[in-house]
Structure 1
């Protein structure tokens, strides 16, 4: 893609402006180390909504960023986070060297990452949940600059995708929400909506061995889960950034019940001795 093209890479002019700014600055900082820049998340899966979504991108480098490059990338993100852009604090970005992006390797998993709302680019460990993001990048990623992402990431087997999701349930959901009396994060409406839709997509991936948009997975879950969480899922689908009310205690309790159901399915998949058929 020509980075000066005002029509791309998304249908949203303000998002394109943000992406072109990051692309230009990142290329200047990284020089010959720059390999490509790609969108994943809602911008690649087709469910992006300006009033609820963030901007997710990955920058690929030929080798690990140097200390000087890291400092300059941190300054770039800090400036943007403090800017008057409506997308300030709404960006999640990761920087991977080519060899680390190609396949998940726990021995090569420390890379720069900035999380939505946190404002600081830090080097941190990427766990096996990034197998899911790699799948989205390979199969649905939008190229901002660089070669086709299929050339950069090895194919991911559906069973490996299922196991990665199962690991998320056991290593994150269970200790974070089921081993505490008061999961305070669920008392934030936006985070509760995020968790509910994430659970729907996890259940979909466990069933079919692929990744779809959160709304697609949510509508499937409403039809599949015997109506137990229909209204909860519907409220999550209609959440917007300006919805700041606090979930009721019964809504939090039912969200925990959906988490428990998902963790149970994850445990079943983790213990599965054979490769399940692809739905």
Structure 2
């Protein structure tokens, strides 16, 4: 299947773009940018392609991403009704709940370019209020699946704490977990280490017990840290804005 002249760019992002990527655990997130909306023939051909890749290669079933027209990629608002590839087939009517986060990754070159210009030339840059809202949605999602997927929630909670602490989101879950082991209170090391081992596919029964016992407790701790760091970050931003305004007034 070839998109021909309709193909504008193809990019991998998410965990696959970071050194800590674990092929056995991580999805392969992607964005394919097209010059115009896909027609029925292209959608059918791409669906066959995804099915064939999933049947022949392990990574094929891990492909998880969107086909987006250029005009939508350049907008700030989250695109709707996208063609979406996941689990070895194509779907329609998808939206990207982490749109602001993904755009920020593209802005800071946290991606792998397969084809096309630099992603920052296609995707619009996200501002902090957009990013902040997306991060809080991830916090809500982590709370929702804390019992069914505790290891994923713990790793993502590490990243959320890191993001609000640093005011930056260009970090993988694993990178943030390594930071958390060094920076957060030692009582949380066992549950973070068990989450890391689960991600790497080397967890044992003890790790499952630790996650079942402590993941929800870590959720409570991380939620409080996120709110505290968010308040501190907002205060710093307000002070910086006030200082700049004062300096501008003095310059006059």
TM-score by length of 2: 0.79
Aligned length: 235
Task: Measure the CA separation in 2 of the matches of 1:202 and 1:71.
Answer: 38
- 2:183 is the counterpart of 1:224: yes
Task: Return 95-104 or 233-242, whichever deviates more.
Answer: 233-242
- Once the 2 structures are TM-superposed, how far is the Cα of residue 87 of structure 1 from its aligned partner? 1.9
Equivalent residue number for residue 82 of structure 1: 55
Q: What is the SS of the residue equivalent to 1:48?
A: coil
Task: Measure the CA separation in 2 of the matches of 1:227 and 1:74.
Answer: 48
Task: Return 72-81 or 206-215, whichever deviates more.
Answer: 206-215
Q: What is the SS of the residue equivalent to 2:130?
A: helix
**CA RMSD, 1 decimal:** 2.9
Task: Measure the CA separation in 1 of the matches of 2:157 and 2:101.
Answer: 14
Unaligned stretches of 5+ residues in structure 2 = 239-252
Q: What is the SS of the residue equivalent to 1:112?
A: strand
Matches within 5 A, 1:118-267: 118-139=87-108, 140-170=110-140, 172-177=141-146, 183=147, 185-186=148-149, 192-210=150-168, 211-239=170-198, 242-243=201-202, 245=204, 248-265=208-225
- Once the 2 structures are TM-superposed, how far is the Cα of residue 134 of structure 1 from its aligned partner? 2.0
- Once the 2 structures are TM-superposed, how far is the Cα of residue 165 of structure 1 from its aligned partner? 0.2
Change (3 A) 1:248 1:145: closer
Task: Measure the CA separation in 1 of the matches of 2:233 and 2:20.
Answer: 35
TM-score by length of 1: 0.72
Change (3 A) 1:265 1:258: same
Could you tell me whether the CA contact under 8 Å between 1:163 and 1:269 is conserved in 2? no
Change (3 A) 1:141 1:252: same
Unaligned stretches of 5+ residues in structure 1 = 1-24, 178-182, 187-191
- 2:68 is the counterpart of 1:96: yes
- Once the 2 structures are TM-superposed, how far is the Cα of residue 231 of structure 1 from its aligned partner? 1.6
Q: What is the SS of the residue equivalent to 1:194?
A: helix
Task: Measure the CA separation in 2 of the matches of 1:267 and 1:101.
Answer: 31
Task: Measure the CA separation in 1 of the matches of 2:85 and 2:212.
Answer: 28
Q: What is the SS of the residue equivalent to 2:155?
A: helix
Task: Measure the CA separation in 2 of the matches of 1:205 and 1:273.
Answer: 10
Change (3 A) 1:100 1:209: farther
Structure number with greater Rg is 2
Matches within 5 A, 1:40-119: 40-83=13-56, 85-106=57-78, 108-115=79-86, 118-119=87-88
- Once the 2 structures are TM-superposed, how far is the Cα of residue 50 of structure 1 from its aligned partner? 3.3
Could you tell me whether the CA contact under 8 Å between 2:188 and 2:218 is conserved in 1? yes
Q: Of Structure 1 and Structure 2, which has the larger fraction of its residues in helix?
A: 2
- Once the 2 structures are TM-superposed, how far is the Cα of residue 265 of structure 1 from its aligned partner? 4.8
